[in-house]
């Protein structure tokens, strides 16, 4: 029984690290997207595109979490990436 607990905990640790890697990969993609958009004179943040992404995620969702929970977690992830773009933008202004 306790072996089973240990195995599940190891699996959980692996999933945590994979999540970390994906969240950071997402951050790098959003930064890259923001840089290209700024170079084209476009605003980096696009609320409509964010809504579309969220709808696409919700469409694919099958549980066990509630839709509202998934939406909440992704909004935190999106918000973090937005801050990363803004931070970058402010740094540009200061140069």
Q: Is the backbone peptide bond immediately before 64 cis, with ω within 30 degrees of 0? A: yes
Question: Is 38 among the residues that bind its own copies (CB under 8 A)?
Answer: no
Question: Is 16 among the residues that bind its own copies (CB under 8 A)?
Answer: yes
Question: Is 45 among the residues that bind its own copies (CB under 8 A)?
Answer: no
**Contact pick of 44, 64, 91, 94 for its own copies (by CB under 8 A):** 64
How big, in percent rounded to 5, are the helix, strand and coil portions of the chain? 85, 0, 15
> In whole angstroms, how close is the CB of 50 to its own copies at the nearest point?
11
Residue 53 CB coordination number (10 Å): 13
**Contact pick of 36, 47, 51, 86 for its own copies (by CB under 8 A):** 36
Q: Which two tokens stand for residue 61?
A: 């969702």
């Amino acid at each position: 029984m306790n072996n089973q607990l240990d195995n599940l905990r190891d699996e959980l640790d692996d999933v945590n690290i994979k999540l970390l890697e994906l969240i950071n990969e997402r951050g790098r993609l959003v930064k890259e997207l923001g840089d290209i958009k700024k170079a084209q004179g476009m605003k980096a943040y696009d609320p409509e595109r964010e809504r579309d992404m969220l709808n696409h995620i919700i469409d694919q969702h099958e549980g066990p979490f509630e839709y509202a929970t998934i939406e909440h977690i992704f909004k935190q992830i999106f918000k973090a990436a937005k801050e990363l773009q803004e931070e970058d933008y402010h740094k540009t202004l200061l140069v």
